Structure 1
Amino acid sequence: MSMVREGRAGTSPVRSPRAPRAKAPGWLLVLAILCASTAAIPLVYLVARTTDAGFAEFADTLLRARVLQLALNSVLLAAAVTGSCLVLGTASAWALTRVRIPAPRAMLLVSALPLAVPSYLAAYGWLVWLPTLDGFFASWLIMTAVCTPYVTLPVVAALRGASGELEAVARTLGRGPWGAFRSATWPRVRPAALAGALLVALYTLSDFGLVAMLRFQTLTWGINSAYGASFDRNQAALLALMLVALALTVVAGEKRFRGQAGQGTGRGRMPLVPAGRWVTAALALVLAAPLVGVAVPVAGLTSRLVEAQTLRELDVARLGEAIGTTLGLAVAGALAAVMLALPIAVLAARYRGRLVAAVEAVGFLGHALPGIVVGLALVFFALAAVPALYQTVVVLIFGYAVLFMPKAIGTMRSGIAAVPGNLVDVSRMLGLSPLQSWWRVTARLALPGIGVSALLVAISVMKELPATLLLRPTGTSTLATELWSRTTVFEFGAAAPYAATLVLLAAVPAVVLSGFRGVAKEDL
């Protein structure tokens, strides 16, 4: 893309909204570095804690059979879920875009529904029907259903944007629908598919609620046990660092094998393949994840809610307190994440350079930090550096900001980058200071993107479980923690009202969010 675009005759060229300057002002750079550095606090503290433990203890922990088994379980589950989501998500995206199925728009909406259901809530719904469900297979099945939309949605978008000419040529040369797709179209949509697979792998590695409910012991389970049972700081920190190393390895591997998105050679569209007798199979591909990840859990939740005993024993005051706490933390976490992400988003949207790229990369570090790792690291950090803040809402909100800052950065960066640079230049020519120009021009035009980022963070805060369990003040409970505390003792009826309320509250900002058009694809 050209770095400049010509203005009208007789005027100097003005910058395109997508052409950032090379040099950022010093004050903005310093502010962005300070905000980005907050995202690195958990990782830096874990490294320091591991260093204090010494190499001997580190090696002893790594070589324990129990630790190796936990790491192997984490890797196997992440690999299995990622592989199945990659296959099922790509196949369902192909069915949605290349096969003539009934109500395709409705089917696309249905395929995205599992994103609204937290993994631990889906596990709870299944346990209502099958209380003895546990182990690797159950964890793999439900996690695959919950995570498949992370692959389906970006691949659908890539397929719709890809040219169909090469695939049509492959069909004329005798290739079948799948053969033509594999040879001509897959290289073009592979980056989108692998980006979705990266999210699946990170989500699976960081999950705690589902694997704990289904009694499949992974590193997240080991971290929680080491911290909760004996408060073994060193062992918990070492296990947390192992989990971060696995997550960073996944991120590096995805960047290594992703490649570049291919460009279409034309705007030809592939004619839809008549489903014929295979319509049932095509619909099964699309509906498999929503059925397992949404329909069965919601049916289990509904069955508990309609029981008279559940309603009679409902503690309305406690439910109301949990609702208020959840909403309050969601608003506070969203504001904190937006405030920390805003300088980074402005820097990334308006300026370029190696330092700018490094600052943005550090801001996105939360993508590779599981919630249980952030929670554990901030527990240790608060005790060592600011003991007065230990088990206070300040540390909890800060943890939310670190975890979900990437969601805010991505969306706000897109919104700010879309503000025409010439409008900013005109405002400066009229005598406005940089801060006044930002407030009167950029902030107002980028406000929808900022609002979207706040909604994304608020939804994530409502559903967050492991960080909340570790960082919440004593006596503070959210809908997620109330649901967790009841399901761990198999009180499924008592957990049902909290689960239903959590789904309804998370659905409200999700519905509002669906009305915006500026949500970045990476924030799905």
Structure 2
Amino acid sequence: MADDLSRSPLAIAGTPRFASGYRRRLPSQRAAPWLLGAAVLVALLALLPLGFVLGVSLQTGWDTIAQLVLRPRVAELLFNTLLLLLLTLPLCVLLGVALAWLTERSDLPGRRVWSLLAVAPMAVPAFVHSYAWVSLWPALHGLPAAVLVSVIAYYPFVYLPVAATLRRLDPALEDVGESMGLKPRALFIRVVLPQLRLAIAGGALLVGLHLLAEYGLYAMIRFDTFTTAIYDQFQSTYNGPAANMLAGVLVLCCLLLLGSESACRGQARYARIGSGSPRLQRCVTLGAGARVAALLLVLLSSALTLGVPLLTLGNWLLAGGIEAWQAPELLPSLRQTLELGLLGALLTTAAAMPMAWLSIRAPGPLLRLLESCNYIASSLPGIVVALALVTVTVQYARPLYQTTFCVLLAYALMFLPRALVSLRAGIAQAPVELENIARSLGRSPWQALWRVTLRLAAPGAAAGAALVFLAISNELTATLLLAPNGTRTLATGFWARTSEIDYAAAAPYALLMILLALPLTALLYHQSRRTAGR
């Protein structure tokens, strides 16, 4: 009876539903053939980079693979990659967790401002961080420089999920620990830290994937990684076997990283159970010495992550003067960045729509499998996606090689999950009953989807499109390999200027990229605050 009432228009209009003590499962709908076909097509395209690696490996043969992979150069690159991961990930976790705890659970003065400053480094592209540090300290290079700049650029990926989890953590857990005699340090290690496992593992995974995929940061400080070596091989041999085999090793590193993150999740339950609502978080009072140390930590982190880039950028803007802003390529670079960003955001959001609708309205094992395929390309470095598209277009679709469509397709493959997650959340908040009522009034499935569901899901779609747009505006590697001749975005224009050691001319490009990225930072910050109603 209660379930029938919940499906009625009266329930939708506001009639209270029966509190049955469990969450009612939404009724599934039959998947429209065209939606299912579109979702399958997008999933197959998402598997293209992985299929490229497997296909090239089979075509090359085991003897050639062994000859290309079992080389001292590959061992050196693998050693560099492992050292970079082993040194950078713990430092990002330590810094991210420490800042999250100080800004969310302590009485640190001005903690709201410090929390905003902890997220702000995400507005600065990683290769701009490298540009700032190399400008300030030209002798900075090698592994120490790679670790320093990587921690500065990527620790917010750990800070954001950990801070959000600390806001939602029920203080009753800590009350139980205190009642058992645990001291504050033991309480954090044995009670709070285990509850942060998912957030830390997820943030560390994002950092690790960025470390494997980043090109501009490490090329500028002369630290060799698989991505820099693949790009150099491609430039010298034009997609030769050596570049393809290095891409295969890089894909294996990404898959191992994904498997490690999955194993770190564990099987523990993290949801709060019990009656009532959780209490507000309590604030830990810092002692005089701890408060001074905390202020020094947040001041130092803000100075390194924001002070150095802004100071260096300001100096180069002053050195370049008005002439740097009068460069004939600057405005066309901004225009092409906006065009590619808008077109890529629209294409990616449209490609994510069928899978987002099916995952909410018609869930099932097959659809879960199709949905997981969409995350594969996003976990692979952009240079692997670009190499896959170069090979496919050259061999099977030559007219598409180095076209705008090819660049947009690469953006869609890399950034599809950003649109999918936001759009799926928006569709989940659109009642299925409204869609059913529209169909009962004679609307076709497409009309009901377009006029009802997508209108209600518009905020989620807009948020996903904004995330994709801002990711495209800072993308470098795939754009360098796939863009048509004469195409220059802000990222590629910045890279061309820094390659010529013309740092003053590169400063306007860097400033414009930061200004475009600021809305993303504000969006992430406010969404993170809204998760706890603050």
TM-score interval for Structure 1 and Structure 2 normalised by the shorter chain: over 0.9
Change (3 A) 1:314 1:382: same
Task: Please tell me the root mean square deviation across aligned C-alpha atoms, in Å.
Answer: 2.7
Match of 1:79 in 2: 86
Structure 1 distance, partners of 2:248, 2:425, is 32
- 1:298-337 to structure 2, matched below 5 A, reads 298-307=310-319, 309-312=320-323, 314-337=325-348
Deviation per CA, 1:279-314: give whole Å up to 9, x if none.
13223444554432222111100111012x443355
- Kindly report which structure 2 residues correspond to 1:15-26, keeping only aligned pairs within 5 A, or say none: 19=26, 21=28, 23-26=30-33
Where 2:376 maps in the other structure, the secondary structure is helix
Q: Deviations over 1:349-370 (max 9, x none)?
A: 2221111101100111122111
Cα deviation for residue 388 of structure 1 reads 1.4
Per-residue Cα deviation, 1:316-375 (whole angstroms, up to 9, x for no partner): 321111111111111111111111111111111222111110110011112211111111
| Letter matched to residue 270 of structure 2 | G
Aligned pairs (5 A) from 1:210-359: 210-259=217-266, 260-264=268-272, 267-277=278-288, 278-307=290-319, 309-312=320-323, 314-359=325-370
- 1: CA distance, partners of 2:143 / 2:423: 39
In 2, Cα distance between equivalents of 1:428 and 1:115: 44
What is the aligned partner in structure 2 of residue 100 from structure 1? 107
After the TM superposition, which of the residue ranges 417-426 and 503-512 deviates more from structure 2? 503-512
Match of 2:409, as an amino acid? F
In 1, distance between residues paired with 2:528 and 2:105? 24
The aligned amino acid for 1:300 is T
Aligned length: 519
Q: TM-score, normalised by structure 2?
A: 0.91
Q: Does 1:451 align with 2:462?
A: yes
Judge which range, 282-291 or 64-73, deviates more.
282-291
Task: Identify which range, 34-43 or 452-461, moves more after superposition.
Answer: 34-43
Q: Is the 8 A contact 1:415 1:449 kept in 2?
A: yes
Distance 1:451 1:256 in 2: 34
Q: Mind listing any 5+ residue stretches in structure 2 that lack a counterpart?
A: none
Note if 1:432 corresponds to 2:440: no
CA distance, structure 2, for counterparts of residue 5 and residue 178 of structure 1: 51
Per the TM alignment, residue 520 of structure 1 is displaced from its structure 2 partner at its CA by 9.3
Which whole-Å CA distance do the structure 2 matches of 1:179 and 1:164 have between them? 15
Give 1:389's aligned amino acid.
L
1:274 match: secondary structure:
coil
Q: Is the 8 A contact 2:164 2:528 kept in 1?
A: no
- Equivalent position of 1:405 in the other structure: 416
Cα distance in 1, alignment partners of residues 522 and 105 from structure 2: 28
CA contact (8 A) 1:452 1:516 kept: no
Contact 2:330 2:509 survives alignment (8 Å): yes
Mapping 1:186-201, distance limit 5 Å: 186-201=193-208
Residue 460 to residue 239, structure 1, CA distance change in 2 (3 Å): same
Out of 80, 100, 116, the position equivalent to 1:109 is 116
- The match for 2:481 among 470, 484, 495 is 470
1:145 corresponds to 2:156 = no
> What letter is aligned with 1:282?
A
Asked if 1:132 corresponds to 2:139, the answer is: yes
Moved more, 242-251 or 424-433: 424-433
Q: Deviations over 1:3-57 (max 9, x none)?
A: 9984579999999897362753333222211112111112212221221111111
Is 1:422 the equivalent of 2:433? Answer: yes
Is the 2:119–2:521 contact (alpha carbons within 8 Å) kept by the matching residues of 1? no
Q: Are 1:374 and 2:382 an aligned pair?
A: no
Q: Which moved more, 1:277-286 or 1:416-425?
A: 277-286
TM-score, length basis structure 1: 0.93
Amino acid at match of 2:494: L
Structure 1 unaligned segments of length 5 or more: list them. none
1:392 aligns with: 403
State the SS of the aligned residue for 1:305: helix
Deviates more, 1:184-193 or 1:401-410: 184-193
More moved, 270-279 vs 80-89? 270-279
1:192-237 alpha-carbon deviations (Å, 9 max, x no partner): 1111111111111111110111111010011011101222521111
> Per the alignment, do residues 111 and 514 of structure 1 end up closer, same or farther by CA in structure 2, a change over 3 Å counting?
closer
Q: Which amino acid aligns with 1:384?
A: Q
- Corresponding residue SS for 1:317: coil
Distance 1:34 1:388, change over 3 A: same
> Would the aligned equivalents of 1:142 and 1:292 in 2 still touch at CA under 8 Å?
no
Letter of the 1:129 partner, please give it.
L
Distance 1:7 1:464 in 2: 46
Q: Secondary structure at the match of 1:273?
A: coil
**Which whole-Å CA distance do the structure 2 matches of 1:414 and 1:10 have between them?**
25
- Structure 1 residues 519, 359: closer, same or farther in 2, change over 3 A? farther
Provide the C-alpha distance between the structure 1 equivalents of 2:529 and 2:483, rounded to a whole number of angstroms: 33
Evaluate the alpha carbon distance shift between residue 232 and residue 414 of structure 1 in structure 2; reply closer, same or farther with a 3 A threshold.
closer
Deviation at 1:270, TM superposition (A): 4.7
Q: CA deviation at 1:510?
A: 5.0
Aligned to 2:191: 184
Given that 2:88 and 2:147 are in contact with CA atoms closer than 8 Å, whether structure 1 keeps it comes out as yes
Q: CA deviation at 1:490?
A: 2.0
